[in-house]
Structure formats: structure tokens, C-alpha cells
Amino acid sequence: MPSVAGWWAGRSDPQRIALYTRWSYYSVLALTPLVSLLVVGSSPGPPAFAAAAFLLGSITVSVATLLLARAGLARSLQDERLPPRLLGGAVAAALATAGAGVAAVPDASDAGSVVPWAVALAPMMVLIACSTVWPARTLTVGGAGIGVLVAAVLVGVGRAPGQALALGAVFGVTVTATALSFRFSVWVFDVVTQLERARDVRARLAVAEERLRFARDLHDVMGRNLSAIAVKGQLAAELVRRGRPEVAEEVTDISRIADESLQEMRGVVGGYRSASLPGELAGARSVLRAAGVSCTVSGDEEAALLPAAVQVALGWVVREAVTNVLRHSRASTCTITLDSAGGQAELRVANDGAVEPADRRWGNGLTGVAERLDAVGGRLTASREDGCFELTAVLPAVVTA
């Protein structure tokens, strides 16, 4: 059988806090009959009927407060009230028990120090049970009310007003402090539970973010490469039909692109895939020309001078723009312009073969590129006019010498 230490060690921190808080309440509230018995035993010759009523009332209060604390601990994180009937029954039983306690210790001259306990015990247990839900202000008001009740009863049984007020204040402060200490335990439990939930949410978000990264990188990496393989495959087939010797070069390019795709796929899986702007510009020129699209690149000599983060972001823009030209346009010309003047880098990719889409919303590719730019303080815009489509990416950049 597992040991107690092993059982405790197998619990998480929130579970340990929950067990400690719950059983702290239960153990204190369950001691109500025992404390009542000590109070009655401290009184010389208590009336039998009153003593029995006081003890029976204490048992009733103990059961009611245990149920009340259980309900409060189950609902403390849901901002719900305590069950009204159960709360009303517990308060009524506590007041009746307090009255029976006064009758059980009637002689104030001999048992004056016991009377406050007989009066305050049952209401204090109700207040402790309510501390699972009630805020500190309400608990303070309740503790003050119990102190006033103690003082009034002491005056009624013949104690001096000054002494009655002093004892009432002491019991009021004691009851309030006790209830607030239990309320603090519930607050600690709430905080630990919320932190545990936040940790779980953070883990779920990390998994979701990694899935989104993988999907975005997979789309960006494989989209252009597969389009390039398709274009070069069609070109190779045409060259074979014509008996041209250049077919060997195109087949070699297909093999090279496939190998690069495999390497990039491994980079996507490993999470360290990046896009080189000079390499993407050179690749764009090669792929577009192979597809029969006249490609002009301006400002490519500035690409290597941009910061690494800027090169990576703009590299993804070039890759996605070229993929869209190959897959979603009938372009005959494509112009890529890079400008890094004025403390910012601007990349424009324009083609003359835009096809009017049925849905003008951006697809996954452009959305992913926009997210990459937004992460480094940039923005992505697109415009369509007279059959021409232009994609513009702008982000802060300082050119290094």
C-alpha cells in the first residue's frame, strides 16, 4: 500500500492547497461539539436541560457549517452565493445555540469568563463557514456583530458595562481575525488555481502557436517549390517533344529544387527555417523566367546590406509573391523593386496578369506573410488595378555599410 508521504507527494500544488484548505475548515468546524462540551464542563452545576440543548445545538451547527463550507469551497471560484436555505438554517441554529449556552451558564459571578464563549462559539463557526465566499468587509461586519452580541448578553447577565464592552471588543476582534485568516487560505487557493489554469492555457497556446507556425512555414516553403517543379516539369516535357538538349538542364533543376525542398522541410520541422532575401530574389528571377514570365529585379544589391531580421521577413514576401504569380495569375511580366532609403525598407512586387478573384479576402499565404511583417513592425498592402496586381511590404530598416 502506498504511504501517506507518497500519496501527498503524488499530488500537484493546487491539489495540496485544496486539501489543506478544505480539511482546515472541516477539522475546525467539526470541533464545535467538543468545544461546547468544554464550555459546559467549565460551568459549575449547569442546568441539565439547558446543557443538553446547548450540546445538541452545537452538533446541529457543526453539521450545518460543514455543509455550508463544502458548498462554499465548491463555488468560491464561480462567484456564486451560498445556498440561502442552508445559510438561514445555520444562522438560526447558531442563535438558538447561543441562547441555550446562556441558559447553560447562568451564574455570571462564578462563570462570567465562560459566557462569552457560550454566546460567540456557534455564530463564529457560521462566520468561518461563510468565509469561503464572503469578502473581508462582510466578515468584518459579521465579527463586529458577534462582538456586540457578546457585550449585550454580558450586560444582560449582570456584568459591568465597561467590562462587557471590553470583552465584546476582544471577542469581536478575535472572531473577525479568525474568519479573515480562513478567508486568506481560500484566497491563496484561488490564486494557485488561477495560476495553474493560466499555465495550462499558456501550454495550449504554445502548442497552437507551434501548429500555426508549422502550417504557415509549410505553405510558404512548399508553395513556391512545388510551383517551380510543376513549371520546370512542363518545360522539360516540351523540350523532350522538341528534341532539345536543354532538357537535361531542366531535369537537373527539378532534382535540385526537390533536394532543396527536402532540406527546407527539415528546417520547418526543426523550427529554424529562414528565408534569405538575396537568395529569394535570385530564385524568383530564375523560376519566373523558366515559367516564361519576364522578370526585372531592381535594388537587389541592397538586399545583403539589410539587417538579418528584415532580410528574413522580406524573403518570405518575395517567396509568397512569386508563388502567387505562378499559381494565380497569367502574368507575362513581373517587376520586383527593393528600396531602403529613409530608414525603412520597401519591397514591391508587381505583375500584369492579375485575375479577379471571387473572394477578395487574403488567403493563408498573404495572411501568414502579413503576420511575419507585423512581428517586426512592418505592414503588407495589396492593390489591384487594370489587370495589374502589386504587393507592397514596408518595415523599418537601417542599412549597414
pLDDT reported for residue 122: 92
Give whole-number Cα distances, 67 to 16, 47, 134, in Å: 21, 30, 16
Kindly state whether residues 60 and 177 are assigned to the same domain: yes
331 assigned to some structural domain: yes
Name which of 89-98, 126-135, 254-263, 289-298 the model is least confident about.
254-263
Give whole-number Cα distances, 77 to 65, 83, 182, 365, in Å: 19, 15, 15, 42
- Tell me the per-residue pLDDT of 330-339, one tens digit each, with 9 for 90 and over: 888 889 999 8
197 assigned to some structural domain: yes
Using the 3D structure, point to which of 169, 202, 235 is the last residue of a domain: 202
Kindly state whether residues 183 and 60 are assigned to the same domain: yes
132 assigned to some structural domain: yes
pLDDT reported for residue 158: 79
Do residues 260 and 276 make contact, with C-beta atoms less than 8 angstroms apart? no
- For range 362-385, the mean pLDDT: 82
Q: Is residue 271 scored above 60 in pLDDT?
A: no
267 assigned to some structural domain: no
Beta bridge partners, 347, equal: 338, 393
Q: Is residue 125 scored above 90 in pLDDT?
A: yes
Do residues 72 and 130 make contact, with C-beta atoms less than 8 angstroms apart? yes
- For range 212-231, the mean pLDDT: 69
- For range 178-201, the mean pLDDT: 84
Per-residue cell: 318: 518575395
pLDDT reported for residue 3: 66
Report the CATH number that the domain containing residue 348 is assigned in CATH: 3.30.565.10
Kindly state whether residues 65 and 193 are assigned to the same domain: yes
Per-residue cell: 304: 545583403
| Higher pLDDT among residues 38 and 77, named by residue | 38
Kindly indicate the confidence band of residue 213, based on its pLDDT and cuts at 50, 70 and 90.
low
| Higher pLDDT among residues 18 and 205, named by residue | 18
Q: How far apart are CA 165 and CA 79, in angstroms?
A: 36
Kindly state whether residues 58 and 197 are assigned to the same domain: yes
Q: Is residue 15 scored above 90 in pLDDT?
A: no
| Higher pLDDT among residues 197 and 113, named by residue | 197
If one counts the domains in the chain, the total is 2
Kindly indicate the confidence band of residue 246, based on its pLDDT and cuts at 50, 70 and 90.
confident
Domain that holds residue 363: 277-401
Q: Is residue 9 scored above 80 in pLDDT?
A: no
29 assigned to some structural domain: yes
244 assigned to some structural domain: no
pLDDT reported for residue 110: 46
Kindly state whether residues 295 and 167 are assigned to the same domain: no
Burial class of 160 by CB neighbour count within 10 A (0 to 12, 13 to 18, 19+):
exposed
pTM of the model: 0.57
Q: Is residue 272 scored above 90 in pLDDT?
A: no
Q: What one-letter code names the amino acid at 264?
A: E
pLDDT reported for residue 266: 66
- For range 282-287, the mean pLDDT: 80
- For range 220-248, the mean pLDDT: 75
pLDDT reported for residue 365: 74
Residues 6 or more apart whose CB falls under 8 angstroms from that of 298 comprise: 335, 336, 337, 338
174 assigned to some structural domain: yes
User: Most confidently modeled of 15-29, 43-57, 137-151?
Assistant: 137-151
107 assigned to some structural domain: yes
pLDDT reported for residue 111: 44
Burial class of 265 by CB neighbour count within 10 A (0 to 12, 13 to 18, 19+):
middle
- For range 236-249, the mean pLDDT: 78
Using the 3D structure, point to which of 202, 224, 245 is the last residue of a domain: 202
Q: Is residue 208 scored above 90 in pLDDT?
A: no
Using the 3D structure, point to which of 179, 202, 225 is the last residue of a domain: 202
pLDDT reported for residue 34: 92
